[in-house]
Amino acid sequence: MASLRLDLSLPLRSFDLELALDVGRETVALVGPSGAGKTSVLRSIAGLARPARGVVACGDDVWFDAERHVDRRPEERSVGFVFQEYALFPHLNVEQNVAFGGGRIDRLLWRLKIEHLARAKPSELSGGERQRVALARALAREPRVLLLDEPMAALDPHTRGKVRAELHDLLRELALPAILVTHDFEDAAALADRVGVLVDGRLRQLGSPEELLGSPADPFVAEFAGANVLEGIAESGPDGLTRFRLDAERVVFSTDEARGRAALVVYPWDISVGRVAADDSALNHLGGEIVSLVQVGNRVRVRLPFLTAEITAASAERLELRTGDAVVASFKATQARLLPAD
């Protein structure tokens, strides 16, 4: 299976998108805020946008080369594209929508478990069913590269988990070079082998989800991956620790070394919540009132004015937590990462 290779520059409204990327038999997710250039990457690969310079190639098949004046039309590129909101033709039924891509329709309908919907119109389908139809249409071309633009965005929370699992399994089965873009790190981590954080047309970091969580390149990457990011001043502390001053009154400690302005990174699931501070010198303690409580599955997100903790639902019930309650958030010095401030 040939890999996808791109090295391009594309002028956008506020900045130039600059990206070099090699994608083998894997799924790479590009995450980042709206307007970061994520969808423009997909459009450049598919031939729907023309870079100012660079190369886009799949193996030895060159689709774009600015220097050699090569610019293959979209229909000449072996790309399957799943558009945001799926872009199905409303006047065509499922079978006709998939047939628009060509290929063996019956096999794809069966493979994606939508053969019983062959005569249905898009308006009669659920979000998960529309996604399967869009995937079937993209795969009907028997593409060498698969592109997915916000594939989970149109799904409700109840459907999202099931469809995410199905899409994960399908991507692994296909083993195609695939790029998906999303603003949701949880989707990216669940679906992709590697995740790239794209901001203002530049990659901040590219690596496995575990690498981005464990060793974020900067505070923005950490925050995008779900961490609390607190700014302050780092200085020498006792016993080889770094003292981190959030303000005149609040001080915590980290095992990381840093001096001067810095950002403290701690993940919600590494924070415990109690009515009083635990008698443990190895823990940092920060007090505050609960701003909100949100249950997500068997976990509860406890938001304080300065950070968010994530605890088990059983712990929240045992503590009888309510909005407005005064609590203490605690975390270990080893779980408090320090990064240079942005």
At residue 242, the 3 state secondary structure works out as strand
Task: Determine how many CB atoms are found less than 10 A away from the CB of residue 158.
Answer: 9
In this structure, the strands spanning 53-58 and 194-199 are unpaired
Q: Nearest CA to 224 among 197, 203, 263?
A: 197
Looking at the DSSP bridge assignments, the partners of residue 147 are 81, 179
Instruction: Give every residue of the chain whose pLDDT is below 70, as ranges.
Output: 1, 103
Tell me the pLDDT of the chain averaged across its residues.
Answer: 93
Query: What pLDDT, on a 0 to 100 scale, did the predictor assign at position 103?
Result: 67
State the greatest distance between any 2 C-alpha atoms of the chain, in Å, as a whole number. 71
Write down the domain spans for the chain.
Answer: 4-219, 227-340
Cβ-Cβ contacts under 8 Å for 317 (sequence gap 6 or more): none
Nearest CA-CA partner of 29 in 294, 209, 288: 209
**34-83, pLDDT tens digit by residue?**
899 999 999 999 999 999 999 999 999 999 999 999 999 999 999 999 99
Regarding the domain delimited by 227-340, which CATH topology (the fold level of the hierarchy) does it fall under? Answer: OB fold (Dihydrolipoamide Acetyltransferase, E2P) (2.40.50)
Are the beta carbons of 183 and 150 closer than 8 angstroms? yes
CATH for 4-219, options being 3.40.920.10, 3.30.70.20, 3.40.50.300, 3.30.450.40: 3.40.50.300
Angle between helices 127-139 and 157-174 (to 10 degrees): 20
